[in-house]
């Protein structure tokens, strides 16, 4: 689904994150910098974690229609895909990916 939405091939980031696209970041608080995926997921034991770095403030109406989930600042947690509306999930992924591209000037 993420490959189709982003047009990017899946790439491993470390040992457990599958990412799509990338951007370069520089921390404002330290000298840390590096590359990170624009969007990604990790099939963790407890949840399927989707990294949607733009947050969820602008997509509350979609979240209400999604199904069973939890969120944190930039992560969406799903127990299983069968618990959610895949069309709504696709919209959330597309929105986050497009916003990250705009924010970081990635074509």
The CATH number assigned to the domain holding 95 equals: 3.90.1150
Element containing residue 99 per DSSP (H, E): helix 86-104
- Pair of tokens at residue 22: 């990338």
Per-residue pLDDT reduced to its tens digit, 16-30: 999 999 999 988 888
Q: What is the pTM of this model?
A: 0.92
Mean pLDDT for the chain overall: 95
Report the C-alpha gap between 100 and 25 in whole angstroms.
12
**Structural domain count of the chain:** 1
* Under 8 Å between Cβ of 103 and 54: yes
- What angle is formed at CA 46 by the lines to CA 41 and CA 49, rounded to 5 degrees? 15
Q: What is the average per-residue pLDDT within 21-50? A: 94
pLDDT at 37: 97
Per-residue pLDDT reduced to its tens digit, 88-105: 999 999 999 999 999 999
Would 86 be classed as within a structural domain? yes
pLDDT at 72: 95
Would 18 be classed as within a structural domain? yes
Would 107 be classed as within a structural domain? no
pLDDT at 53: 86
Q: How many CB atoms lie within 10 A of CB 56?
A: 18
Q: What is the average per-residue pLDDT within 29-33? A: 90
Per-residue pLDDT reduced to its tens digit, 48-60: 999 998 889 889 9
Decide which of 27 and 106 is more confident: 106
Would 74 be classed as within a structural domain? yes
């Amino acid at each position: 689904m993420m490959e189709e939405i982003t047009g990017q091939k899946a790439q491993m980031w470390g040992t457990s994150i599958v990412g799509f696209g990338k951007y370069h970041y520089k921390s404002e608080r330290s000298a840390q910098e590096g590359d990170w995926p624009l969007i990604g997921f990790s099939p963790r034991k407890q949840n399927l974690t989707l990294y949607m770095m733009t947050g969820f403030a602008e997509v509350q109406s979609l979240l209400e229609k999604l199904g069973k989930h939890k969120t944190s600042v930039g992560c969406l947690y799903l127990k299983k895909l069968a618990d959610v509306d895949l069309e709504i999930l696709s919209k959330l992924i597309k929105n986050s990916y497009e916003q990250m591209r705009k924010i970081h000037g990635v074509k």
